Structure 1
Amino acid sequence: MIQVITAANIDHNRDLMEQAWRLRHRIFVEEMGWAAIERDDKREIDEFDDEHAVHLLAVDDNEVVGYSRLLPTARPYVLSTHLPQLCEGVPPSSPHIVEWSRIGVAGSARTSGRRLNPTALAILTGIVEWGLPRGLKGFVSEMPTSWLLRLLQLHIHALPLGLPQMIDDVEIVAVNAGFDGRSLRQLQKMRGSTDSVLAPESRVAARLAS
């Protein structure tokens, strides 16, 4: 299930968030080599992990096996602050668009082959399922260029914001990706289920927002 954690419920989910901080450190520092953000406490936290951040945790038997973060684009965010060179124009800013970042899946939940990882698919489905009732229409993200086709196959209308650039030996492109009800239906089709991916408490919150 996908647990959505915001400023409103983070105090009740401290154990899960501790797992999330440590998972981020394992993925981005220990595996990907982002030495600039290494911390002695093995928790990867940055200036954007504030009251505006929305954390999506894939939880399996009380273990966090996947993570991503949404940030509002109507205020400073990662692309606009640290990577504006990926945009040929001004980075997007809208109350209806979020930034999707810090995307990672634990080693125990990774799969091989060309099919989209089920945990990553659940997280993306959770973003759309949670976001649509709140008036979200899409996200911006910095991602490997190979992800572009995958997003289009999921009926997410992804458009590059600039030309790809090499960052830490990976070809990265910034995208503006729109989603709607068709995207959710395609994601559900890919998952093979129309059941909600959201944890019960997150599902209730999504209904209340609609």
Structure 2
Amino acid sequence: MILVIDALNRDRFQSVIDDMFQLRARVFQDRMGWDVTVEDGREFDIFDNLDPVYLVALDDSYNVIGCNRMLQTTGPHMLTDVFQDILMGEPPLRSATVWENTRFCIDTDRLKQPGSTRSVSATACELMAGIAEYAYESGISDVISVVDPAMDRILKRCDNAPHGYLGQTVQMGKTKALAALSDITEERIARIRNFAGITGNIFADEDEVADALAARSTDDTMSPDLRDYCDEQIAAATTEHEKRAAVALRAALAQTIRSSSDIRATPQ
């Protein structure tokens, strides 16, 4: 599922954002060796201060398994302000209907763990579909992505090939970078979905996620058996209604246990 986080709801999902920054540090610094700034195990840059939109992929237990960042090009953005060498002297890209997509990454370590119900490729495709669908519904006509050649090949393999490129491929630190331009159309969305076999709504319900995170924050008050039971009920849900009911049950149980603990702790 894809959770959309923006300036309007980011206060509800600070724990998700924190996990996302930690994932970015593991991927871009530790695995890929990019020259990025990491503090306290979290990768964060000046563009995260500009109220971007984050699309975060979550597994069935609401763990972060992928993410990306989208930013309007009418203000500062990476292609114009960091990777300007790609443009080879061309004017800065500025358009209200063209957004920039960066920091796309997948938690391959978590997804390859025993018991994982999600694959790396399925998660990547769902995130790509989320980007295209969010952009389409938001009136965005094109998305520009600063990628390395490996990511460019992945886009093509997933039937999500860019329809053009800006500037040229240049060396950026330990890797090369290029600016891929993708038109946002119903046809592109259909291609990604057909390639990955995606059906139905892929976007998470905000309230459901918030309730689940609140319940998880009090999981230390629940017995392991009760925790496992709740997790099993959520994982076994076959419809959105069943899943919401299982999540609500977990939240209610956690709240009941927490309230009971508060009463016992209150001086009589």
Q: Which whole-Å CA distance do the structure 2 matches of 1:147 and 1:21 have between them?
A: 20
The within-5 A match list for 1:34-45 is 34-39=34-39, 41-45=40-44
Partner of 2:133: 129
Question: Could you tell me whether the CA contact under 8 Å between 1:54 and 1:69 is conserved in 2?
Answer: yes
CA drift of 1:119 comes to 1.3
Q: Deviations over 1:77-99 (max 9, x none)?
A: 01110111101312321111111
Partner of 2:183: 178
Aligned alpha-carbon RMSD (Å):
2.3
Partner of 1:164: 169
Runs of 4+ with deviation above 6 angstroms: none
Secondary structure of the residue aligned to 1:164 is: strand
The within-5 A match list for 1:83-122 is 83-88=83-88, 89-106=90-107, 107-109=109-111, 117-122=121-126
More divergent stretch after superposition (181-190 vs 48-57): 48-57
The runs of 5 or more residues in structure 2 that have no matched partner are 114-118, 208-268
- Provide TM-score, normalisation by structure 1: 0.85
Q: Which whole-Å CA distance do the structure 2 matches of 1:183 and 1:110 have between them?
A: 28
Q: Which whole-Å CA distance do the structure 2 matches of 1:92 and 1:116 have between them?
A: 32
Question: Could you tell me whether the CA contact under 8 Å between 2:28 and 2:36 is conserved in 1?
Answer: no
Residues 33 and 20 (structure 1), Cα distance of their counterparts in 2 relative to 1, 3 Å cut:
same
Structure number with larger C-alpha Rg: 2
Partner of 1:200: 205
Residues 42 and 116 (structure 1), Cα distance of their counterparts in 2 relative to 1, 3 Å cut:
closer
Partner of 2:194: 189
Q: Which whole-Å CA distance do the structure 2 matches of 1:110 and 1:161 have between them?
A: 35
Q: Which whole-Å CA distance do the structure 1 matches of 2:190 and 2:4 have between them?
A: 20
Q: Which has the higher strand share?
A: 1
Question: Could you tell me whether the CA contact under 8 Å between 2:162 and 2:180 is conserved in 1?
Answer: no
Partner of 1:206: none
Question: Could you tell me whether the CA contact under 8 Å between 2:135 and 2:184 is conserved in 1?
Answer: no
Aligned residue pairs, count: 198
Higher RCO (CA < 8 A, seq sep 6+): 1
- % identity of equivalent residues: 25
Q: Which whole-Å CA distance do the structure 2 matches of 1:64 and 1:36 have between them?
A: 20
